Amino acid sequence: MRSADTLETETSNAFRLPWLSMLACLLMLAVVCVLSVINGAAGLSLRGLLTALLDLIPFVNLDPSLTELHHNILMRIRLPRLVLGLLVGGSLGMAGASYQGVFRNPLADPYLLGVSAGAGFGAVLVIGFGLDLGWGPFGSVPVAAFIGAIAAVSASSAIARGSWSSPATLLLAGVAMASMFSAAQTYVLQKLSQTRAREVLSWLFGQLNTSGWQQIWVLIPYMAVCGMVLLAHCRHLDVLRVGDDEARALGLNPARSRLIIIAAASLLTAAAVSVSGLIAFVGLVVPHIVRILVNNNYRVILPLSAVTGAAFLAFVDIGARTLVAPSELPVGVVTAFIGAPFFASLLWWGRGIRP
């Protein structure tokens, strides 16, 4: 007879989480954050950074070793930009993993249901016609992009009405909507003057520009709520992997899970797109990198996609800021330039892709 102790150890062995890999990801994130803050047009010292950060903690007073100028750069430019990069990268990574799970399709990415085309169309309209839609700390372009993104996803869902239980219809509706919105976007773009068109294009390529902290304070709770909803549903993503029929026989309502997960992931993506433009690649590839490196369980994939996406975008943004200094590269271009070869090498040396 086996004792209760053996059962206990067997239980913990069977459901062991890859703590080491998870810690490694967090460590990587921390390293990237530090690198991102100290690298840039004006180099900051690591010691100066640490004293400045420790000084922020209440009741800790340290002599700042940064000059006033460097301190301002750190607090008003570097840190907000880093945090924005982390938020956007994390959102895209997590939304990508959720979409891939919900659609059971390794090619799914957060822009699948027309978020990108809708956001692009919104941005083109506002930039092209100089509309003023500003709200709170957000300028007209983010607001228009957000509205466009939500409109496109809603349209896709409306077309595929009632087919939350057949993801293929929704997916195709998304393709239709995306094509329509990008056609509209291209049409308007063509009508614009060169300078305005250039402005639109640089937005479309994706960038992490932020004017201070105000946007971020609004984004953090919003993204946190969406992220929590997705994390609360990652068990559902694992159940959905056996297909809708079996999921239902096991006691899950696949349509309801899918509706909630798609809604949360789309809201997350729309917010990310509205402040950063269309940063390709992160949402598609980060979840696959996590799968190859760690394991295939959504309880691990979802949070680690957020961490890895955040670290990846923050890392790539260092390149976008410094490679052609003093000017900047669109971060969306650099993500693909750095990410694609890395992903390709993982595919080449690794075990291939798994949905």
Partner 1 sequence: MNDVVLSCRGLTAAHNGHKALHDVNLDIVKGEWLGLIGPNGAGKSTLLRSITGLVSHEGIVNLADGRCPTPTDVALLPQNPVLPVGMTVAEYALLGRTAHIGWLSRESREDRQIVSAVLQRLELTKLTGRPIVNLSGGETQRVLLARALAQQASTLLLDEPTSALDIGHQTIVLELLEELRHTEKLTIVSAMHDLTVAAYFADRLALIHHGKILAHGAPEEVIDAQLLSEVYETPLTVRYIENHILVLPKTHIIENSKAASTRPQSPTNPIRKEA
Taking the C-alpha atoms of residue 294 and residue 22, their distance in angstroms, rounded to an integer, is 8
DSSP annotation of 37? H
We find the least distance from the C-beta atom of residue 230 to partner 1, in angstroms, to be 12
Which residue, 96 or 148, is less far from partner 1 as judged by CB? 96
Task: End-to-end CA distance of the chain: give it in Å, rounded.
Answer: 40
Which residue, 216 or 240, is less far from partner 1 as judged by CB? 240
How many CA atoms does the CB half-sphere of 279 hold within 13 Å?
41
> To which residue do tokens 């004293």 refer?
51
We find the least distance from the C-beta atom of residue 156 to partner 1, in angstroms, to be 25
For residues 51 and 63, the answer to whether their CB atoms sit within 8 Å is yes
Q: Count CB-CB contacts under 10 A for residue 250.
A: 10
> To which residue do tokens 């960038």 refer?
207
We find the least distance from the C-beta atom of residue 239 to partner 1, in angstroms, to be 5
We find the least distance from the C-beta atom of residue 251 to partner 1, in angstroms, to be 3
Which residue, 31 or 232, is less far from partner 1 as judged by CB? 232
Which residue, 302 or 313, is less far from partner 1 as judged by CB? 302
We find the least distance from the C-beta atom of residue 291 to partner 1, in angstroms, to be 7
Q: Where do contacts with partner 1 occur on this chain (CB under 8 A)?
A: 2, 7-8, 10-11, 13-15, 232-233, 235, 238-239, 241-243, 245-252, 291, 295-297, 299, 354-355
> To which residue do tokens 């703590």 refer?
19
Which residue, 233 or 321, is less far from partner 1 as judged by CB? 233
We find the least distance from the C-beta atom of residue 281 to partner 1, in angstroms, to be 22
Residue by residue, DSSP assigns 232-266 as HTHHHHHHHTT-HHHHHHHT--HHHHHHHHHHHHH
Residue 355: alpha-carbon gap to chain centroid: 19
Which residue, 138 or 298, is less far from partner 1 as judged by CB? 298
| E strand or H helix at 128 | helix 115-129
We find the least distance from the C-beta atom of residue 283 to partner 1, in angstroms, to be 20
Structure tokens at 155: 């349209």
Which residue, 26 or 353, is less far from partner 1 as judged by CB? 353
Query: Which amino acid, 333?
Result: V
